[in-house]
Every structure is written in structure tokens, then in C-alpha cells.
Amino acid sequence: MRSIWRTLTPSLQRDTLAMAGAIAVVGVSFGAIAVASGMDWWIPSALSVLVFAGGSQFMVVGVVAAGGGLVAAVAGALLLNARHLPFGLALGDIMGRRPLARIVGSHLLIDESVAFAMAQKNDSARARAVFWFLGTTAFVVWNLGTIVGAAAGQVIGDTDAYGLDAAFPAALLALVLPALKNARTRNVALLGAVVSLATTPFLPAGVPVLLSLAGLVVLVPAPKKNEEVAA
């Protein structure tokens, strides 16, 4: 781990530690929300160790808390995690070529470690270092945060009163903010947000988020005008 740390630039060291801190806070919110929703304290901890995917873990808790069955919760979580398939294809060489490295790397593959590694794609050594450092650090702080949150959830009761439910989307927003400097990306996000907000009052939960994919229409190139045929 020390050699990996030395490979990172000072700015990467700062940014990865800041991201790890944010992940720890989200882990606390997950543990607290899970326990406050009626789960035993060990269930969110087991999910954090075995699944280690914040979005899927929150979905499982949300479905179960709303009265949904385990099959629906697992199916939704698997669908949400389907995005990891292209992530793995893009980062296969960065994880390493040995089977054990790829197995462990696949478990540590999260949105944050992927984003940081892809940003260093032109420097394979640095991309590998930031992937493993952030992935490992995130795993540790996420699980510690979950334990702390589970303990706190048994005491505070109503987690919404403390705004803990906003920690996860806030962390995701912080992650995508740099990408919004690109005009096309920003237009896609804005159109998707408008569609989602406009349909939320009328459609079941989850459907407006899927409809927000309509924002991708911005990326469709405009048809070229036919050149005039010379007489």
C-alpha cells in the first residue's frame, strides 16, 4: 500500500482521501437507515462486506422497508449493478492479469474507484494505483461507517429528521460535478432531471429515474443536410 501511495500525485492523494471521507459518511447513513427501517444490526454490516455497492444496498433497504419481498429487492439490486459489467471490461487490465487480482478487484469496483482510474487512463501505473488505493480504502471506511451507523440508528430513531437520507445522493452529485463542465454532458443531465422531476408526481417510484434516460437524446447527432447534387 505504501508503494501505491507514492505512485499517486499530491492532488490524487488529497482527492482520494476526501472521497474516502465522503464514503464513510454515506456508510454511516446507510447503517443508520437500515437499522431504523427495522433490520437487525448485522444485516447492513453483512451487506456492506458481501455486496459492497452503495446504490444496491440502499435499494434493498428501501424495498424491504416499503414492504417489498426479498426477490424484488435482489432483482432490483442486480439490475442496478448491471452497470458494473462495462466497468469491468474497461478496467480489466488495470486490475491485473492474475485471476485472484481480478476477483478481488471486481469486488472493490465501485463508481468512485472507476471514475478515478478512468481519469488516469493514459498512465496505467497511476490508474492501477488509484483504483486499488481508493477501492481498498473505500471498502474499509464503508464497513466501519456502516457499523457506526447501525449503532447510531438504534438510538436516533427517525433518520430523516437528521437528513441522513440525503448523504448518498449528495455524494453522487459531488462525484459527477466535474463532468458537468462539458456542455453536452450538462445538457444531458439537465434534460434528464427535467423529465424525472416532471413525471415524479404522476408515476410510481423508480419509473421517473428510468425515464430520465431520455436526456441521452441530446447525444444523438443531428442529420446532415443532403448536399446539392451538381447539375
Residue 120's pLDDT is 87
Residue 230's pLDDT is 44
Residue 134's pLDDT is 93
Q: Considering only CA atoms, give the Rg of the chain.
A: 20
Residue 61's pLDDT is 83
Q: Within its chain, how far is the Cα of 66 from the centroid?
A: 22
Q: Which three cell numbers stand for residue 63?
A: 424495498
Per-residue pLDDT of the chain (231 residues; tens, 9 = 90+): 667 877 888 888 998 998 899 889 889 888 988 888 888 889 999 999 999 988 888 878 877 777 767 777 777 778 777 777 878 878 877 888 888 888 998 999 998 888 898 888 888 889 999 999 999 999 999 999 999 999 987 776 565 555 555 656 666 676 667 667 778 888 888 888 888 888 878 876 556 766 777 777 766 665 555 544 444
Residue 130's pLDDT is 92
Q: For residues 188 and 205, what is the distance between their CA atoms, to the nearest angstrom?
A: 21
Q: 212, 192 in Cβ contact below 8 A?
A: yes
Residue 221's pLDDT is 63
Residue 132's pLDDT is 93
Q: Which three cell numbers stand for residue 219?
A: 447525444
One-letter amino acid for residue 140 of the chain: V
End-to-end CA gap in the chain = 70
Among the listed residues 169, 59, 53, 164, the one whose alpha carbon sits nearest the alpha carbon of residue 111? 53
- Measured CA to CA in angstroms, residue 80 lies from 56, 190, 209, 220 at distances of 6, 21, 12, 24
Cell match 434534460: residue?
191
Cell match 461507517: residue?
145
DSSP string computed for 118-166: HHTTT-HHHHHHHHHHHHHHHHHHHHHHHHHHHHHHHHH--SGGGTGGG
